[in-house]
Amino acid sequence: MRFPEGRLLSLQARGAASLWISLHVIIGAVTRGEVLIFSTSSLVVALAMTGLLGHLDTRRRREMIFLGNLGIAPYTVPLVWISVVALLESVLALAAHAISK
């Protein structure tokens, strides 16, 4: 298994980060800013959906064949998306905890 190089990884990470930001903006607008951090069960669902959307987006853009030709396994794309969203959620939770003190 090969891991995507920096440029390919940054493209996938940028897509995951924009999805995460969009999700939080929409939820913030719907709840009028009352919901900042997801519960654990909601976070697990959001991470699973993020991995699925990352895989579907990569297939829609026909990048999966390109990544496969580079020797990158198909399951690494959803893992990258899930990792980025998990990292951003962790940073948000830590920031909210630090602010609330």
Q: What pLDDT digit, counting tens, does each position of 3-49 carry?
A: 666 677 788 888 888 888 888 888 888 888 777 777 888 888 889 99
Q: Which of 76, 68, 57, 63 is nearest to 15 (CA)?
A: 57
Give residue-wise pLDDT tens across range 44-86. Answer: 888 999 999 989 988 888 888 888 888 888 888 899 899 999 9
Residue 60, C-beta contacts closer than 8 angstroms, at least 6 positions apart = none
